[in-house]
Structure 1
Amino acid sequence: METGDPLVTAGWLKQNLNAPDIRVVDATYYAPFLKAEKTGREDWAEAHIPGAVHFDIDAIKAGGTDLPHMLPDPIMFSSRVRKLGIGDGNRVIVYDNNNFCAAARVWWMLRVMGHDDVKVLDGGLAAWKAEGGELEDMPPVAVERHFTARVRSDLLKDTAQVAAASESGSHTIVDARATGRFTAEAPEPREGLPSGHIPGSVNAPSADLINPDGTLKTVSELQDLLPNHRAPTITTCGSGVTAAILALGFARLGNWDVAVYDGSWTEWASDPARPVATGAA
């Protein structure tokens, strides 16, 4: 049973960075439609927390689909993370340089694969710098470790399961996208996709969960932002990345069993036969 806070502070990491079981993972990612000047990997290569390996969600993903960065099967996942030096017995600390995108996604991926000793660095690289933490630009030498995948299917939902939840109301479906995309008052950034939302879902923009300094909001603030936080819940977004930020927020409120709809709106709205709601929830 996962308990406690899913986050660690930069001060805690600074004190524990050299512990032999700690593995630090930089998950910095910029969505292609943002047209960022650098890729997440280039950002990591310029400066990262000492010993941090880079986890690229566009490289560690399922094949055979046009959907972006879908969760890979456990064999592929195990093979890739072993090469990063992540394995059984490690305490994994994930961070990024982009407001939990995609540190929360990697946190969720590891948990789906059965590795629950994983935390997210609150405030990311900016918090580390503010704490006076050192940086390096040399890639670490990762020692391959054994990783045993034990898939937690309850943390992952597909389209059929989400459609059933939408029709029955068995789960609260919470959408992390910006409100305009949810209501269909603003376009989707992915060409060809309509905006709108899954019928019965509610909107909680992931950006609202994050303070101006890049840290996650407090428990009391999250309670006001996340609906029915102890109810069975599925989070969704554009492509399954910021949905994990909502799952992280729910975990901070004590609900560690929130599932993520991996294909999210990109998968749902790509089929014109699926129902699309517009306007406020």
Structure 2
Amino acid sequence: MTSALISAPDLADRLGQRDLRIVDASWHLDGRDARADFAGGHIPGAMFLDLDAVSDGDSPLPHTLPTPAAFAASAGVLGLSDRDCIVVYDTAGLFSAARVWWMLKIMGARDVRVLDGGLPAWTALDLPLETGVPDRPPFGLFSPRFDSEAVVGLEAVRGALDAGQQVIDARGAARFRGEAAEPRPGVRPGHMPGATNLPYAALLEPDGRLKRDAALEAAFTEAGIDLDRPVITTCGSGVTAAILTLGLHELGRPSRLYDGSWAEWGSPEGGPVVSGA
């Protein structure tokens, strides 16, 4: 199994290679303007991917997957080909980059990596930054090969829970227990009956890098996850669930991601909700 992670020094050594494409996939739940942050400083050669724009515009849910054709068109505008080596990062360390890694991967990108530790790991080494908005690159030909088995919807999650399968929720403990209000209006607090809480931050080192090997495995097993059984990941809106998916990938374990996540399940028309531990 090839790691999906790349270190800042390794990426710096590869700058300028013809098949390398770098994507700033920063997105903030609080609405902060990630595009403005990108203009203020980004890794040389990077392009900015707007997670909200590269989504299903007809869905009432936030940034759900677009069609493969629509995704391919958006990727092409950024100069991305499914044959490129694509490195994704964000300004938080590891937050929204995992979501875009997952999107690229299930849409057919052959070699997509996540910058371990994100932009903070890059700047900590005093590596160069560019400012401003780069010129649009030549259009890239992204030929999608959608892996429909990697994503699930509400009814599939309902069936998995009824069958006693593992569903892991990456939201914080207070939100999972229903003790904190959800950030999206009209979404009920609490969690799915039978789901297990594993906040995504439990997979991260203090500097934002993903834990490795035994420490990463322990994050799952200490939460009660049996790594030999099937797993569905979920969160608030499908972003941090991808961090759990990335962690499972690094352990050589497959998983499926619930794209609608709590934004759908916790809606008035969603699934059953419970509170408490």
- 1:263 is matched with 260
Pair 1:115 & 2:109 matched: yes
- 1:139 is matched with 133
- Segment drifting more, 174-183 vs 191-200: 191-200
**Relative to 1, partners in 2 of residues 1:188 and 1:68: Cα closer, same or farther, differing over 3 Å?**
same
Post-superposition offset of 1:116: 3.4
SS in 1 for 2:23: strand
Q: Tell me the alpha carbon deviations over residues 20-71 of structure 1, each in whole angstroms, 9 at most, x when there is no partner.
A: 111000001111xx253xx111111110000000011100000212210010
TM-score, normalization by structure 1 = 0.93
- 2:12 is matched with 14
Residue identity matched to 2:229: A
Please point out which of 148, 152, 168 is paired with 1:157. 152
Please point out which of 43, 46, 60 is paired with 1:49. 43
SS in 2 for 1:118: strand
Alpha-carbon separation, structure 1, partners of 2:156 and 2:269: 18
Residue identity matched to 1:153: S
**Relative to 1, partners in 2 of residues 1:272 and 1:139: Cα closer, same or farther, differing over 3 Å?**
closer
SS in 2 for 1:93: strand
Pair 1:253 & 2:251 matched: yes
Residue identity matched to 1:243: A
Post-superposition offset of 1:189: 1.7
SS in 1 for 2:59: coil
SS in 2 for 1:247: helix
Alpha-carbon separation, structure 2, partners of 1:119 and 1:229: 23
Alpha-carbon separation, structure 2, partners of 1:154 and 1:265: 20
Please point out which of 184, 190, 196 is paired with 2:190. 196
Matched positions, count? 272
Pair 1:81 & 2:81 matched: no
- 1:218 is matched with 212
- Segment drifting more, 88-97 vs 140-149: 140-149
**Relative to 1, partners in 2 of residues 1:249 and 1:90: Cα closer, same or farther, differing over 3 Å?**
same
Post-superposition offset of 1:272: 4.7
Q: Tell me the alpha carbon deviations over residues 192-237 of structure 1, each in whole angstroms, 9 at most, x when there is no partner.
A: 2221111111000011211221111122111111122242111000
Alpha-carbon separation, structure 2, partners of 1:145 and 1:181: 40
Percent identity, aligned pairs only, is: 44
Post-superposition offset of 1:95: 0.3
Contact kept, 8 Å, 2:170 with 2:235, in 1: the verdict is yes
- 1:233 is matched with 231
SS in 2 for 1:190: coil
SS in 2 for 1:80: helix
**What is the alpha-carbon root mean square deviation over aligned residues?**
1.3
Contact kept, 8 Å, 1:51 with 1:139, in 2: the verdict is no
Pair 1:70 & 2:64 matched: yes
Contact kept, 8 Å, 2:192 with 2:273, in 1: the verdict is yes
Alpha-carbon separation, structure 1, partners of 2:5 and 2:153: 27
Structure 2 gap segments, 5+ residues each = none
Contact kept, 8 Å, 2:26 with 2:97, in 1: the verdict is yes
TM-score, normalization by structure 2 = 0.94
- Segment drifting more, 188-197 vs 6-15: 188-197
Alpha-carbon separation, structure 1, partners of 2:108 and 2:11: 23
Contact kept, 8 Å, 2:93 with 2:116, in 1: the verdict is no
Alpha-carbon separation, structure 1, partners of 2:217 and 2:111: 25
Post-superposition offset of 1:120: 0.1
**Relative to 1, partners in 2 of residues 1:272 and 1:65: Cα closer, same or farther, differing over 3 Å?**
closer
Post-superposition offset of 1:139: 2.9
Residue identity matched to 1:151: F
Residue identity matched to 2:19: D
Structure 1 gap segments, 5+ residues each = none
